[in-house]
Amino acid sequence: MRRKLPVWCIFFLAAAWAQSGAGEIPPQVTFRTDSRLVVLNVSIFDQEGKIVRGVPRGAVSVYEDGVQQQIRVFRQEDVPVSLGLIIDNSASMQPKRDRVNSAALALVKASNPQDEVFLIHFDTAAFLTTDFTNNVQELEEGLRAPAAKGETAMRDALLLGIEHLRHAAKKDKKVLLVVTDGEDNSSVETLPHLVQAAHQADVILYGVGLLSAEESSSAERARKELAELTATTGGRAWFPADVAEIQRITPEIAHEVRNQYIVGYSPTNQAADGAFRKVRVDVALPGVTVRTRSGYYAPHQ
């Protein structure tokens, strides 16, 4: 009777195959929570906010629900991603559109050329403007297409993006960037369910909130929501005072995505109960900041 290799063994065999010059890692080798290998995309920054490269494996510890886990996979590499651009198309975005469109294209151009990218616009409703492509011209045409109008259904748009990644993405690593200029005032989707959906699909969320023209109370609510959404998935939110700053931010996002550490472990808790498992990553280096998703949902039998 043949024994089935654990997924982490398959990972190292595939890596050895690639490094030997025999070819790329076979496309059937994937790393998903439902294979009982939990994979974390981890960003590590120094005190100046710069990516820290060359972190030794021995400096990294992973905890699940407070219990330390044995790391099976540890590497820093630029892997292709499935990326969704979620762009606010409400009426108030009209004067900001040229700069936002230019910044979105700058993100794509600074990303891995093997990435696949789709585009969703949202106003009172959310709609897929351009499906997965790596053709910059197609994305540029999609960004110019819709006329700005209506209100702001950001959460509905993010859920549409998460579901599109879940069902149509060809890459294991999945990222969404949302750009908005106001508080969500039109969505049916709730924040708690959206966070749950992002965890279940293992999506990293980044956000840019152009909130300087918003009333202070509305801007604060929008800032809080966007900060929570991004932080819990291992991403980050920016709130520039001027729309011109977005030109600097989007290449920074691409740089972070391309320089994350891949950390994998087989959880000691193998219960297939569908429960949420809290995850924490510590790095034993002075002055560093670590970001990764706050946890994952176990499989459910």
**What's the length of the chain?**
301
Look up tokens 């949420």; give the residue.
Answer: 276
Helix, strand, or coil here: 118?
strand
Which DSSP symbol is given to 12?
A: H
Q: Is 65 exposed, middle or buried (0-12, 13-18, 19+ CB in 10 A)?
A: middle
The domain at 81-257 falls in which architecture?
Answer: 3-Layer(aba) Sandwich (3.40)
For the packed helices 97-110 and 246-257, what is the interaxial angle rounded to 10 degrees? 20
- Gap between the Cα atoms of 150 and 252, Å rounded: 30
CB contact at 8 A, 128 and 164: yes
Maximum Cα interatomic distance, the chain, rounded to a whole number of Å: 68
Q: Shortest CA distance to 180 belongs to which of 203, 151, 160, 204?
A: 151
**Identity of the residue numbered 148:** A
- Gap between the Cα atoms of 262 and 73, Å rounded: 7
31-73 tens-digit pLDDT: 444 458 999 999 999 999 999 999 999 999 999 999 999 999 9
CB contact at 8 A, 40 and 292: yes
- Gap between the Cα atoms of 95 and 249, Å rounded: 19
Tokens matching residue 83: 């990326």
The pLDDT averaged over each successive group of 10 residues in the chain (301 residues) is 42 40 38 68 96 97 98 96 97 94 97 97 96 96 88 97 98 97 96 97 97 93 97 97 96 97 96 96 97 95 78
Give the residue extent of every domain in the chain: 7-78+259-297, 81-257
CB contact at 8 A, 106 and 247: yes
- Gap between the Cα atoms of 17 and 14, Å rounded: 5
CB contact at 8 A, 96 and 181: yes
Residue 110 CA from chain centroid, whole number: 16
Helix, strand, or coil here: 112?
coil
- Gap between the Cα atoms of 263 and 68, Å rounded: 13
Measured at the alpha carbon of residue 238, what is the angle toward residues 232 and 242, in degrees to the nearest 5? 160
Q: For position 35, what pLDDT does the model report?
A: 53
69-86 tens-digit pLDDT: 999 999 999 999 999 999
The whole model's pTM is what? 0.87
- Gap between the Cα atoms of 90 and 64, Å rounded: 41
Helix, strand, or coil here: 287?
coil
Task: Name every residue whose Cβ is closer than 8 Å to that of residue 153 and which is 6 or more positions away in sequence.
Answer: 122, 123, 124, 125, 126, 184, 186, 187, 188
- Residue 122 pairs with which residues in a beta bridge? 88, 126
The domain at 7-78+259-297 falls in which architecture?
Answer: Sandwich (2.60)
Q: For position 37, what pLDDT does the model report?
A: 94
